[in-house]
Chain A
């Protein structure tokens, strides 16, 4: 029977919700183990959060100074060593997992499956390609481990209601020094909900016009308790940071409510919001492709409609 190892994504203190979504994916087929590997400088806090996820059978905590920051070149040899005895090795399809999992697969000498959106048993999976214009069903061979990333927008996070045992492990793999972490810069957010897990998201596009004008978007988001996203054009124009890009090459999200303001709806953007519950479009151009997928469309100038909406929500 399938034995799944999931690589935890975390920042040293908090387990990222993407890990709980990988657990949910693994729970859709029959398994005899769902274990989580936590690589960290000191992983005690993260391991405890991982052990609490429903369905998890064990947590392997690997503490090492080299694991202080998550570098694929350093983590991959450790994960491939831990992979022995597992039929599946999963990571999230976040930038963390996309960076790491192909490296793990290649070290194991196997292919990798990207962006699992559903599993039909333990060896058959569906994944999107061509910017979500097509869905591929593939079968993985059973004679070698299935290394894969899980499309986080396709799964709900497993609930924290379990109590799995935690074991500490030292890994023998030789760790390279050719890759060094320098720093991480995050400028956006401003205390707002996380774009990838928020239940409501307001996004602005090129139509918003400037960095200053984006204040209109932030105000609406705050009135809704929503996270803020953006189109590539808005990021390229410098209105907002890269971590806010939604789409094929940005974040794939699945909020209950998505409000797109001044965004035309290019296929690369739409692929990032296909799983949203309700999509609202506000655009002056009645022919904008976003209206084809929107559940509620309003043809209007954003500079009057958005402040009006913000006010209506406040009262």
Chain B
């Protein structure tokens, strides 16, 4: 029997990383109509890692889950096409704060009896970088955040973490939560036959109340604004002029 029965991989639907999003002129939110949506890039890395763990025979099954509207089934189908075994949509129309997302993921972990959750270190829209750590705390289990390398031995995992000072190695007992950094792996491309096959894989829809999760909103949004613009700079045509310009600004 494999070491890990079920790996849970949350997939967040976010604006594609190549889209330059802007604040709506009236400041009521972001202008997101018609923009390309994708799986959060860090979650794609998380799924790739889970697939490799299963391919090494260390896990039996991979479940992907997304919390949001019906539209998130696009990203879940994408995850199934990459190779996940089944998918769960937790359907809600609300924008949830990370603590509620973490409570929801905990309910899924318990329902699926998962021993490992691999997820993005941050969503590139909310940029909060919180959910994995909160899930680990609520679960009372270890967290290996910002992982760039992950291996298993017995019932423990060794993770290399990208930290400000360099690379940190820690060991965590399973069950555990791992959050991914960019250099953990390079996600595979999905092939057309896999996309067709994914249509037949199970995708279940549940609600927050099915999971006994009460959404809680703590922070009240007072406004959204575009960032301050930097004043337009100058072009210089030689290194000599560059040195001159730096001198004028008293930087050298």
Check A181/B22 contact, CB under 8 A, given A102-B137, A124-B222: no
A230 at the interface (CB under 8 A from B): no
Cβ-closest chain B residue relative to A187:
B166
Chain A binding surface SS class:
mixed
Contact (Cβ within 8 A) A295 B234:
yes
Q: How far is the CB of A238 from chain B (nearest CB, A)?
A: 10
CB-contact partner of B163 in A95, A274, A299, under 8 A: A95
Q: How far is the CB of A77 from chain B (nearest CB, A)?
A: 9
Contact (Cβ within 8 A) A312 B167:
no
Chain A 130-150 interface 0/1 with B at a Cβ cutoff of 8 Å (1 = within): 111111111111001000000
Residues of chain A within 8 A of B226, CB atoms compared: 133-135
Q: How far is the CB of A128 from chain B (nearest CB, A)?
A: 7
Which of B65-73, B111-119, B127-135, B192-200 touches A?
B127-135
Contact (Cβ within 8 A) A102 B134:
yes
Chain A 4-39 interface 0/1 with B at a Cβ cutoff of 8 Å (1 = within): 000000010000000000000000000000000000
Contact (Cβ within 8 A) A295 B167:
no
CB-contact partner of A251 in B164, B224, B227, under 8 A: B164
Interface size, chain B (Cβ < 8 Å): 82
Contact (Cβ within 8 A) B142 A178:
yes
Cβ-closest chain B residue relative to A132:
B227
Contact (Cβ within 8 A) B21 A130:
yes
A210 at the interface (CB under 8 A from B): no
Check A112/B98 contact, CB under 8 A, given A103-B137, A184-B163, A296-B242: yes
CB-contact partner of B220 in A100, A139, A179, under 8 A: A139
Chain B 1-34 interface 0/1 with A at a Cβ cutoff of 8 Å (1 = within): 0000000000000010100111100000010000
Which of A40-48, A54-62, A157-165, A241-249 touches B?
A241-249
Check A135/B218 contact, CB under 8 A, given A114-B127, A236-B183, A243-B164: no
A278 at the interface (CB under 8 A from B): yes
CB-contact partner of B134 in A106, A137, A299, A312, under 8 A: A106
B243 at the interface (CB under 8 A from A): yes
A: interface residue count bin = 35 or more
Contact (Cβ within 8 A) A110 B234:
no
Chain B 152-167 interface 0/1 with A at a Cβ cutoff of 8 Å (1 = within): 0000001001111111
A280 at the interface (CB under 8 A from B): yes
B204 at the interface (CB under 8 A from A): no
Contact (Cβ within 8 A) A279 B142:
no
Residues of chain A within 8 A of B183, CB atoms compared: 235-236, 242
Chain B residues at the A interface, C-beta cutoff of 8 Å: 15, 17, 20-23, 30, 97-99, 102, 121-122, 124-138, 140-143, 145-146, 148, 158, 161-173, 176, 181-183, 216, 218-227, 230-231, 233-243, 245-246, 249, 251-252
Give 6 closest A-B pairs by Cβ, nearest first.
A186-B166, A106-B137, A102-B133, A102-B130, A106-B134, A182-B169
Query: What are 27 A-B pairs with beta-carbon distances under 8 A?
Result: A102-B129, A111-B216, A111-B218, A112-B98, A112-B128, A112-B134, A133-B22, A135-B225, A136-B223, A182-B170, A184-B168, A185-B167, A187-B166, A242-B162, A242-B181, A248-B124, A249-B122, A278-B251, A293-B230, A293-B233, A295-B234, A296-B236, A296-B242, A297-B233, A305-B239, A308-B239, A313-B243
